[in-house]
Structure 1
Amino acid sequence: MEDEADGLFASVFSVSGWQPAPFGVERSRQPGFILVARAASDSRPVGFAHVIEIPGGDHLQQLSVVPSKTGHGDGRALVEAVKVESWQRGRPRVTLRTFADVPWNAPLYATCGFAECLPDNDFLRDLGYVPVSGVVSHS
């Protein structure tokens, strides 16, 4: 799903040097959680969110929806489910890093309650600064 979804970025910038997505088992070894969106009609996976625990909260490491299913609310539903799951796990905030110039990224996250911020811990600083990173607090 992730490799297929990443193909959407090819219309915005070069993705030729990108590494293949890690396997789910590799993601599941990290502290955090994975949520999967399924099609109502046949229960096939249409997207997923991978969240890792970081100091002071959770980080939305990856959100992917298969291109044929974009625009139907699955990505937004996954982001909202991430916020709920994180809150239920007692995590005080969720952060993410995204591409500001990609038309479908920053506006989605802004309408989900994320706001631009500067990296405020070593994990986020090590990612490097991108114009839109985000944080939503549960306070």
Structure 2
Amino acid sequence: MRIQFPTASRAPALIMAVLVAANVTACAGGSNPVRDIATAVGAGPKTAPTPDFVAQSRPQSLDYMPIGTPVEGRPTPARSPDEIKAAESELDALRARNESAGAAAARLGGTPPPEPIKMPVNTPQRPRQKTNSNTNR
């Protein structure tokens, strides 16, 4: 026996599915129609004005920043050969100072540890005899 479904009940379900799908796809973008309607009615969230320091520190239009393109110019100029030699000699002097400090620390660390303190040996004591306080009367 073949079951026949009523065709009239499919229409509201189909309309509801289309509306839900439209709402979900609308939420995926930058706009949210449910939020926009709620805000227009007065039930939605209140948007606070942008503070002045934020508005001044950010550009008006956030353009796409291309990746992989070279930046124009260096932020600092390249060093001359004399500046490079001066930096190398400064680093060599710092290395020599660190090596001498390390050698001094190694000499100080090479002292033998102190000998442990010898404690006197405890001799075992005789156990005390238990006395009954009632018998000593």
Shared fold (TM-score greater than 0.5)? Answer: no
Question: Which structure's CA Rg is the greater one?
Answer: 2
- Normalising to structure 2: TM-score of the pair? 0.15
Point out the structure with the larger strand share: 1
Point out the structure with the larger helix share: 2
- Normalising to structure 1: TM-score of the pair? 0.15
